[in-house]
Amino acid sequence: MTRAASHRQRSGRNRGQWSLLLCLLITVVSAAVQATDLDYQSRTVTVAMSQEPPDMNAITSTDAVSGMLLGHVMEGLLRYDPNGDLVGGVAQRWQLRDDGATFWLRPDAKWSDGSPVTAQDFVFSWQQAVTPAVASEYASILFPVQNAQAINDGQMAPSTLGVRALDDHTLEVSLHQPCPYFLGLTAFRTLFPVKESFYRSRGSRYAAEARDMLYNGPFALTRWVHGASVRMEKNPHYWGREHVWLNRIDVPYITEDPNAHMNLYRDHKIAMASSLNSESLEGALRERMQIKSYLDGAIFYIEFNHRDARVTRNRNLRKAIQQVFNTDDLVYKVMGSPGSFPTYTLFPRWLKGKQDFFVREYPAQKPELNVTKARAYLDKAKQELGVAKIPPISLLADDSPGGQKTAEYLQTLLGQSLGLEIRVDMQIFKQRLAKTGSGDFDMVVSGWGPDYEDLLTYGDLFASHNLNNRGRYRNERYDHWVAVAQSSLDVAERMHAFDQMQKILFADAVIVPLYERGNVYVQNPRLQGVLRRALGGDPNFNYASIQPEVSVNAETSVNPESRLNPKTRIAPGSGLTPNAHRGAGVILEKEP
């Protein structure tokens, strides 16, 4: 505002010229870097990321942002196709047995320096991943492999890991017990190959810069300005390069502010903007943006502390809370987060059961909301605990919007309906994790994302031996069903085991499931084939393509009102009107 005023003051008549000059100047200096969201000619898509990738070394990497990039620039033995099915990646053929697996590698799979991807590259990276000194946090992913756990505990040498290169293109894996989900693991980043000679030549600088990595995926990192931008270009040595349509994925914006993402999208600077909340959604709708949603795999729940010193070890107290908690209210009204679904079980809706989705085959039991029953449970709990009033309960949550809203909602709800005093313990993420890990909570709002495509990645969470069982829930029957699911190769038996687990979780009120997190995002309709998924790096552009601009122009130039007004004029309640225009739909007025 001040600049404009100065022109008025200073240059009076010359104002027009001045501002023109200014415009020109700015345009000239800023035009060079301003690309648009989609460029059909150069096959470039421009997007934004929330964060600088923390660790691009696939062996140690654990976070989502690096996972997204690694999903483009690296490829494991197997990979996911656009339908989410496992298909051959570096491996051309494979065979899974009770005691192991054999993978035959493509002879044309190459690194970005042109050298072939060999079975030794897998042996090296897998051995690295379980080597204690490397301290890979995802080492446990490899534990189904023979000796992996013992090596990771420092009891055996890394060379004893049950994986061998029979020759350059044949990889032999020994499993220490049947592992029905092992093939899915080979698409996971910890099991990606790493070329030993290159890795050793870079030392501690491996994966610190774009030039300090070798790539075997459809794309290669060609530019990485820390905190500012990342660029991926088609890998000319990728065996399946004919099937990759895009030439370049440009990420010139890195910010965690979702509003900034939305504004960039609105300004046609990026082709998709993720994580719309109920607020930014309204603007997106009004501006007719294409809105999509997907489930990112994370399940959220309230976990109770089952340690002896905690009041929450009392089952009746937990049952009382379960009886009043209105998950629908939380998700639909308080969170109002479009795309998320209230859930009543630990298992997500997108994982397969016997033939169909597990949640369809074994529907979860919905707790009935009943304050009277809840109070009865509460009275029983007080008797058992021998107190007149339940002492204050601490509710740990992190300061993410979801955690904060859940905690504040629960605090008021339990206060009003049960007279419980809830002390919200809001911490930054790392402190929340530390407190959860050390058991310093009564209740905690937690979430869990999948590591591999099997119900077990959720199911074994509450096994007594699992380190991620932060509330130290112990139940022999639960452990038994986990053991069954771990080793059985019979699908029906495994699914029955998972159903038993969810029944125990409900009956014992071990957790209160909250929601399956969905992500609502806007995407340029010309951009197609982008995969949004819970596993294998999200989003993924390996199969993406751009529609030429012309056809879209024709579509968007149609004024929607002009097409639909004639139909809205039809008397309300006259039912369905045949409509010749495909895609126009039918409007049926029904006002209260």
Partner 1 sequence: MTLTQTLTADDFAPLAKAQHPDQIVRPSLSYWQDAWRRLQRNRRAMWSLYLIAALLLFSYVLPFVVPFDAVGQDLTQISQAPSLEKKSLVVDTQPWPGQQVRPAELARLQSAPFDPATRVTGLTLVGEANTESVRLAWQPVAGAKAYQVYRHLLVPSGATDLGLPLGQTEQPEQVSYEDRLKLQNMPYYYSVRAVADTGEVSDYATVKATPRLAISVRAALSRGLITADQTDSMIGREVELQRHLMGTDYLGRDLLARLVYGGQTSLFIGIVAPLLFVAMGIVYGGLSGYLGGRTDEVMMRFADFVIALPFLLFMILFRVAMGIGPGESGVTPMLIAMVLLGWPTAAKLVRGQVLQLREQPFVEAAQLMGANSRYLILRHMLPNVMGVVLVSLTFSIPSAIFTEAFLSFIGMGVAPPTPSWGAMCNDGVKSFMSHPHELLFPALFISLTVLAFNLLGDGLRDALDAKMKG
Partner 2 sequence: MTQFIFKRLLSGVITIWFIATATFVAMHAVPGDPLANDKAVAPEIRRNLEARYGLDKPVLQQYGIFLSNMLHGDFGISFTQKNRHVNDIIREHFPVSAVLGVLALIIATVGGVVWGALTAVYRDRWPDSVIMFLVVIAVSVPSFVFAMLGQLGILAMNEWLGFSLLPVAGWGSFGHMLVPALVLGLGTMAYLTRLMRSSMLEVTSADYIRTARAKGVSPLRIFFKHQLRNAILPVVTVLGPSIAAITTGGFVVELVFAIPGLGRFFVQAVQQLDYTVIMGTTVFYGAFLVFMVLLVDILYGFIDPRIRVGQVRG
Tell me which residues in 40-59 interact with partner 2 (CB under 8 A). 48, 51-52, 54-57
The 409-428 site mask, x for binding partner 1 (CB under 8 A), equals x-xx---xx-----xxxxxx
Query: Does the footprint of partner 1 cover residue 569 (CB under 8 A)?
Result: no
Residue count (the chain): 592
509: tokens are 């009120």
Binds partner 2 by CB under 8 A, chosen from 87, 157, 166, 428: 428
Residues 240-259 that bind partner 2 (CB under 8 A): 252-257, 259
For partner 1, give the closer residue by CB, 17 or 577. Answer: 577
For strands 86-88 and 272-273, give the pairing: unpaired
- Alpha helices, DSSP H only, in 394-469? 401-418, 429-437, 456-459
Stretch that binds partner 1, among 88-96, 179-187, 472-480, 560-568 (CB under 8 A): 560-568
Q: How far apart are CA 361 and CA 381, in angstroms?
A: 34
Q: How far apart are CA 283 and CA 263, in angstroms?
A: 11
Residue 34 binding target from partner 1, partner 2, none, CB below 5 to 8 Å by type: partner 2
Residues 132-161 that bind partner 2 (CB under 8 A): 132-140, 152-154
For partner 1, give the closer residue by CB, 163 or 444. Answer: 444
Residues in binding contact with partner 2, number by CB under 8 A? 74
The 94-133 site mask, x for binding partner 2 (CB under 8 A), equals --------------------------------------xx
Binds partner 2 by CB under 8 A, chosen from 4, 21, 434, 489: 434
Contact (CB, 8 A) for 447 and 517: yes
Residue 464 binding target from partner 2, partner 1, none, CB below 5 to 8 Å by type: none
Residues 469-488 that bind partner 2 (CB under 8 A): 470
Residues 522-551 that bind partner 1 (CB under 8 A): 525
Strand partners, 518: 295
For partner 2, give the closer residue by CB, 222 or 466. Answer: 466
Q: How far apart are CA 142 and CA 190, in angstroms?
A: 8
Contact (CB, 8 A) for 327 and 511: no
Binds partner 2 by CB under 8 A, chosen from 26, 489, 491, 586: 26
Q: How far apart are CA 192 and CA 142, in angstroms?
A: 12
Q: Is the peptide bond before 539 cis (omega within 30 degrees of 0)?
A: yes
Q: How far apart are CA 113 and CA 73, in angstroms?
A: 13
Residue 198 binding target from partner 1, partner 2, none, CB below 5 to 8 Å by type: none
C-beta of 119: minimal distance to partner 2 in Å? Answer: 26
Residues 277-336 that bind partner 1 (CB under 8 A): 277-283, 285-286, 288, 290-293, 328-329, 332-334, 336
For partner 2, give the closer residue by CB, 202 or 405. Answer: 202
Sequential DSSP letters for 71-104:
HHH---SEEE-TTS-EEESSEEEEEE-SSEEEEE
Stretch that binds partner 2, among 102-110, 353-361, 362-370, 421-429 (CB under 8 A): 421-429
For partner 1, give the closer residue by CB, 70 or 284. Answer: 284
Q: How far apart are CA 421 and CA 121, in angstroms?
A: 57
CA distances from 313 to 123, 180, 473, 476, 503 (A): 45, 34, 9, 16, 18
Query: Does the footprint of partner 1 cover residue 268 (CB under 8 A)?
Result: no
Contact (CB, 8 A) for 43 and 28: no
Residues 20-59 that bind partner 1 (CB under 8 A): none
Torsion of CA 484, 123, 161, 79, to 10 degrees: -10
Query: Does the footprint of partner 2 cover residue 15 (CB under 8 A)?
Result: no
Residue 577 binding target from partner 2, partner 1, none, CB below 5 to 8 Å by type: none
Strand partners, 170: 104, 167
Nearest to 131 by CA among 202, 174, 197, 190: 190
Residue 563 binding target from partner 2, partner 1, none, CB below 5 to 8 Å by type: partner 1
Q: How far apart are CA 422 and CA 413, in angstroms?
A: 10
For partner 2, give the closer residue by CB, 203 or 386. Answer: 203
